[in-house]
Amino acid sequence: MNLAGVFCLLTGALAKAAHGDNHTHESKLFQTLWSSFNEGDLAVTDRGFCSFGAFAGLRARGVDSLMRLPEKKISKAISSKLPKTGNCDVIVTWKRPAKRPPAMTQPEFALLPESLPVRVVRYTIAQRGFRSQCVTLVTTLLDAAIPASDLAGLYFRRWGIELHFREIKIHLNMDVLRCLSPDMIERELRMHFIAYNLIRSVMQKAALTHDVDLNRLSFKGCLDTVRQFANATSGAEDKPRTISAMVDEMLLAIARDLNPCRPGRSEPRIKKRRPKNYRLLTRPRNEMGPLPHRKVGVENHPKPALT
């Protein structure tokens, strides 16, 4: 399935999520999440959700947007007013596309305004040991009092949502769903989301109680600590003072488990665990017939070259 979610940038809590099959594009799922935004909010997304329809739809709800503009999909109305090279910070008019997007119905497309004033910020990321990269942002925040560097820093924090999804799928074991029926899959998803927000609430309480940076607390460390103290408090159900003391000790242990400050750290998506050397069950087991215990021969399964 495809999954899209709205997270709180400050606390990392999951506000709302939407899912569909692998034929449902994430931009369509994102459209169903617009109701989770309140007037005055700011939606920060990656370039996969950047479109005129998303900007206009959110702006109609009183919600501002900050998204990365795809280089290959820059509208002619925008690119004609941008410098060819170098950094820039300009306000331009984004015109409605001539053709209706496939993910939008004709009545929805007709409700879009003819144009929309947006602010385009382009800057270059130059980090030692990495290739320089040019990033173009587009936002409805037109106030000149907001410097371009603040917008760039805000978009840099958007990467945290990738870590949140990793925490849900890997640390909470949601990468492989175990239920079979659609109704049970819905329940399984909700339980994972509830568990994630519970751990996030414990992390926030530990950060506020002991005055530490919430962003430096380890989700995996907090999860392991909660599991250990849950076993300890299960035998003290009739002793509220003992449980309260254990909770205080648990919050202190979570606050002390700080991640080191490593700005600009590279975290590529690489699988750590190697796949097992077994054949795939592509048919019912009674139809597979006798098979060797493990794969025979490596000519059909070449090892990937290291780069």
**What confidence score (pLDDT) does residue 79 get?**
67
pLDDT digits 0-9 by tens, 242-291: 888 999 999 999 999 898 887 767 767 677 778 778 878 888 888 877 77
What confidence score (pLDDT) does residue 232 get?
82
The CA angle 232-237-239, to the nearest 5 degrees, is 95
- In the chain, the amino acid numbered 210 is H
Sheet with 88-95: strands ordered across: 42-45, 64-68, 133-139, 115-125, 88-95
Bridge-based pairing of strands 42-45 and 133-139 is unpaired
pLDDT over 70, % of the chain:
89
pLDDT tens for 9-26 read 999 999 999 998 888 888
List, in order, residues 6 or more apart from 225 with CB less than 8 Å away.
250, 253, 254, 257
State the Cα–Cα distance between residues 199 and 167, nearest whole angstrom.
Answer: 11
pTM: 0.82
Q: Which residues contact 157 (CB under 8 A, 6 or more apart)?
A: 9, 44
Tell me the mean pLDDT in the region 127-143. Answer: 82
Tell me the range of 52-61, 131-140, 231-240 where mean pLDDT is highest.
52-61
Model pLDDT, residue 80? 67
For residues 57-75, average pLDDT: 85
Q: Hey, which residues does 117 pair with through a beta bridge?
A: 93
CA nearest neighbour of 78 among 92, 97, 59: 92
pLDDT in tens, 112-126: 899 899 999 998 887
Confidence check: pLDDT of 135 > 50: yes
- In this structure, what token pair is assigned to residue 205? 């309480």
Weakest mean pLDDT among 74-78, 124-128, 192-196, 210-214? 74-78
pLDDT of residue 293: 66
pLDDT at 231 over 60: yes
Query: What are the boundaries of each domain within the chain?
Result: 2-163, 178-256
Paired tokens of 20: 């569909």
Work out the mean pLDDT of the chain and round it to a whole number: 86
- DSSP for 168-221, please give it: IIIITT-SS----SHHHHHHHHHHHHHHHHHHHHHHHHHHHHHT--GGGB-HHH
What pLDDT does residue 299 have?
46
Closest to 44 (Cα-Cα) out of 131, 132, 129, 150: 150
